[in-house]
Amino acid sequence: MDIKILDKEIDNLKELLYRLLDSNSLTNENVVNYSQKLDKLIVEYQKHRDFVKVQ
């Protein structure tokens, strides 16, 4: 996946997560789900970024 796409997806998930947190608790199922998705994307982003640095 392209790093620019990952960056945009991360930004979108962050925004959505912040909105969810305004009206839900940290243990809300949707908050937890989107937080996990965001974590996975960030890890993927970091792997991709590190791979590009090596080359």
Indicate the pTM of the whole model.
Answer: 0.82
- Predicted pLDDT of residue 33: 97
Average of pLDDT values for 5-33?
A: 96
DSSP 8-state assignment for residue 27? T
Q: What is the pLDDT of residue 25?
A: 96
Tally the domains of the chain.
Answer: 1
Read off the CATH number of the domain in which 40 is found. Answer: 4.10.280
Q: 10, exposed or middle or buried, with CB in 10 Å at 0-12, 13-18, 19+?
A: middle
Domain that residue 46 falls in: 3-54
pLDDT tier at 35 (50, 70, 90 boundaries)?
very high
Single-letter amino acid, residue 38 = L
